[in-house]
Amino acid sequence: MTAATSRLKPLGPLPTNVRGAQRTLDELWAQTDIETRAYTGNIIALTEPHYQGRIQEALTGLEGRYAGRQIIAVMQPSASGRMSIDAELVPQQGLYIERLTLLANPGQLRGAILPLLRPATVNHVWWASDDPPGGPLLRELTEIADQVIADSLRLDIPPARQYALADLGWSRSAAWREALAQLFDSKDAASVLGQVTRLKVWSGGKNDRAARLYAAWVACTLGWKDLSAVTFVRGDCERQHGDLCGVELSGPGVRFTLKATGKEGVRSTVKFGTANRQTSMMVPSMTLAEGLGRVMARPERGSVFEAAWTLARASLAEAAPESQ
């Protein structure tokens, strides 16, 4: 257990090594008045030097203590010397979490991470890198992962049954899925869903992968075989980059639209038959930490996500190959 006063001070970092990491952490724990600890899991974040700060910030900002031990493995292909490992205790929501930060080339990291895991708990592996997720290191870690968090549409490793695949883009669009579902909680609206033939999705950011997953979810739900009826449009709204800006389902005589208004609001327009409704709803934006927390809170396999992922992935394969 790590609960203590709400004004905890960070302890460390102290340099250590793979064999001495647990001892170093114990020395840091000894500086606290905390006698018992609860282990809720490990998260291994594989990242690059220029993302290290953001990854640390996201991990510190998690609202839940889903992983009591955080291992940030900074992949530096050019590193040729000794691997550096720092150990620290970081306050998070009035609790301490253990953080080990490794800086090494991917080859060195391969043998270093497994011994550092807190045993017999849930393991989250987060590919937090620009490169498409893959390679021997990630492949090795998927063997012990309960959950792999990655830009899933670029995943270079076939999904396996022993871990759940998660995507922060999917996670962060949860409120948009909820908003769209709310439009069809009214039975009269649900009854005309069969007339929807087109989907348009507006997204921020510079790629459409989160939008593609969202569209695939809609398409799966409506029984579409592919995304040929989907149009992706670069949106321009006040919401965070990577978030959606709008969705429109349409067809003969029906139109259902969600459009971002401000940073948290969405305006809905529903038109079918004699119905012409406009209203608004809260669709909270999710920060990286919130999205991460959401997927970590429940690392279960998601059949709905997997179906959407399969369709979205297939749509990419049918399109022109990406330039990396």
Looking at residues 100 to 159 of the shown chain, list those that interact with other proteins (rule: CB under 8 A). Answer: 126-130, 149-151
Q: Exposed (0-12), middle (13-18) or buried (19+): which is 184, by Cβ within 10 Å?
A: middle
Quick check: bond before 284 cis, omega within 30? no
Q: What's CA 262's distance to the chain center, in Å?
A: 23
Closest distance to other proteins from the beta carbon of 165 (Å): 11
Whichever of 246 and 299 has its CB closer to other proteins, that residue is: 246
Helices (H) and strands (E) in the chain, counts: 10, 14
Among positions 192, 199, 216, 219, the unique one binding other proteins when judged by CB under 8 A:
192
Among positions 8, 11, 24, 66, the unique one binding other proteins when judged by CB under 8 A:
66
Q: Cα–Cα distance between 32 and 11 in angstroms, integer?
A: 9
Closest distance to other proteins from the beta carbon of 17 (Å): 27
Q: Please work out the total of residues on this chain that contact other proteins, with binding judged by CB under 8 A.
A: 130
Whichever of 16 and 192 has its CB closer to other proteins, that residue is: 192
Window 215-234: residues binding other proteins (CB under 8 A): 218, 221-222, 231-234
C-alpha triplet 195, 198, 202: angle, nearest 5°: 135
Closest distance to other proteins from the beta carbon of 138 (Å): 12
C-alpha triplet 58, 179, 167: angle, nearest 5°: 35
Region of 9-17, 23-31, 64-72, 109-117 interacting with other proteins (CB under 8 A):
64-72
Window 16-55: residues binding other proteins (CB under 8 A): 36, 38, 40, 47, 51, 54-55
Question: Quick check: 154 and 209 in contact, CB under 8 A?
Answer: yes
